Amino acid sequence: MKFLRVLLLFCLLGFCLIGFVFSQESNWQNFKGKHFIVLYQSSADKSEAKKILRSAEKYYGSIGRKIGYTRYSNFWTWDDRVKIILFPTKELFLDQTGQPEWSRGGALDIGFSGQKVIVSYAGQSQFLREVLPHEISHLVLSDFIGLDHKIPIWFSEGVAQLGEEGKAKKAELVMRMMIRLDRYYPLRSLARIDIRKEKNEEYVELFYAESVSVVDFLIKKFGSDAFGRLCRKMSDGLSFEAAMKFVYQGMLSSYSELEKKWIQYLNH
């Protein structure tokens, strides 16, 4: 299922991988950039590791600008650089991380240490276009809003998909069709869904398409600066709905009003 390709937050990996980060890092080769360090074990993965570093640095800036997090030019540097751990095989990745068979990686912001980590394995198709930007986006958003504040799942996954090349455009086409068929989640219902517990593939696909479509609408309609203020209000402790009402005064005051204007936008 596609949603299984969109990776869960790294907290699901458990402490086994945290131990790996601090105990075995010196045994691996690495490429260092301004904001990322790519760790790889096999010389056969050297070329891929270089490409990952270049792509990560590109996404670092573009994702921050898109969601209005303008301070990102001088963060995640030196000792705070994000470590991207590239296992040579899927089997080793699964063995070292304890992840389920379907997993392709994950991201973790280790609050007590300040260390941010992305983990995956070599040889994946679409890694640079899908997995890497998705996980970087999760880290950027958690850094923006903070680990102490609960980020709605739909909002987090919507932002994470913005980084994936072409995802928002495809989702817009899907949601135009689903709205015509009256087969979409009312946004207040979307906000209550814990998609990690859903097993129906169709429902999951809809959840992800709708999430990124709504986030993309907010940015295209009202701009990245306003979206950045929305995130900052959530960082101050406001719920998404309260933060939305504060930032988009006179334009959006509730999930119902957001839903109405989002549908109007897609039907224009």
The answer to whether the beta carbons of residues 27 and 131 sit under 8 Å apart is no
* Angle in degrees, 0-180, between the axes of helices 132-145 and 224-235, rounded to the nearest 10: 60
> Residues, the chain, total?
268
- Per-residue pLDDT, averaged over 124-145, amounts to 92
Stretch 145-172: mean pLDDT: 92
With contact defined as beta carbons under 8 Å apart, do 220 and 262 qualify? Answer: no
Residue 81 has pLDDT above 90, yes or no: yes
- Distance, in Å, from the CA atom of 140 to the CA atom of 66, rounded to the nearest integer, reads 11
pLDDT digits (tens, 9 = 90+) for 205-222: 999 999 999 999 999 999
Q: How confident is the model at residue 94 (pLDDT cuts 50, 70, 90)?
A: confident
Q: From 226, 221, 191, select the one nearest 67 (Cα to Cα).
A: 226
Q: Is the per-residue pLDDT at 249 higher than 80? A: yes
In the chain, the percentage of residues whose pLDDT exceeds 90 is: 67
Between 19 and 210, whose confidence is greater?
Answer: 210
Nearest to 122 by CA among 82, 164, 96, 90: 90
Last residue of a domain, which of 145, 175, 194? Answer: 145
* Parent domain of 176: 153-266
The reply to whether 21 and 133 lie within a common domain is yes
Instruction: In whole angstroms, give the CA distance from residue 77 to residue 104.
Output: 26
Tell me how many degrees the CA angle 177-137-135 measures, rounded to the nearest 5: 95
- Which strand ranges, in their side-by-side order, compose the sheet holding 115-121? 29-32, 36-40, 82-87, 115-121, 106-110
pLDDT-based confidence at residue 79 (cuts at 50, 70, 90): confident
Residue that finishes a domain, picked among 105, 123, 145: 145
- Of 119, 179, 115, 121, the closest CA to residue 147 belongs to 115
| Of 122-136, 138-152, 175-189, minimum mean pLDDT range | 138-152
**147: pLDDT strictly greater than 60:** yes
Q: Which of 85-99, 104-118, 200-214 has the highest mean pLDDT?
A: 200-214
User: What pLDDT is attached to residue 198?
Assistant: 81
Does the pLDDT value for residue 154 go beyond 60?
yes
Give Cα 163 to chain centroid, integer Å: 7
Q: Is residue 148 classed as helix, strand or coil in its secondary structure? A: coil
Within 10 A of 110 (CB to CB), how many other CB atoms are there?
A: 16
Question: Do 114 and 221 share a domain, yes or no?
Answer: no
Q: Which two structure tokens, joined as six digits, stand for 207? A: 């959840």
Do 64 and 141 lie in one domain? The reply is: yes
Query: Where is the domain boundary, 99, 124, 145?
Result: 145
Number of domains composing the chain: 2
Band (pLDDT 50/70/90 cuts) for residue 13 is very low
Distances (CA, A) of 254 to 156, 166, 188, 257: 19, 29, 9, 5
Residue 6 and residue 121 in one domain: yes
Question: How many whole angstroms separate alpha carbon 28 and alpha carbon 38?
Answer: 10
Based on the fold, state whether residues 166 and 228 are members of the same structural domain.
Answer: yes
Q: Given this model, what pLDDT does residue 8 score? A: 40
Least confident window among 16-20, 63-67, 199-203, 250-254: 16-20
pLDDT given at position 97: 80
- 106 and 12 in a common domain: yes
Answer yes or no: do 138 and 62 share one domain: yes
pLDDT value at position 17? Answer: 52
Most distant CA atoms of the chain, gap in Å: 57
pLDDT in tens, 26-40: 679 999 999 999 999
Has residue 3 got a pLDDT over 60? no
What are the DSSP E strand ranges found in 94-178?
A: 106-110, 115-121
Same structural domain, 168 and 50: no
Q: Are residues 70 and 87 in the same domain?
A: yes
pLDDT at 107 over 90: no
Cβ–Cβ under 8 Å, residues 178 and 156: no
- Residues paired with 117 in a beta bridge: 83, 108
CA dist 127 and 174 (Å) reads 23
* Beta partners for residue 63, in sequence order: none
CA distance 93 to 95: 6
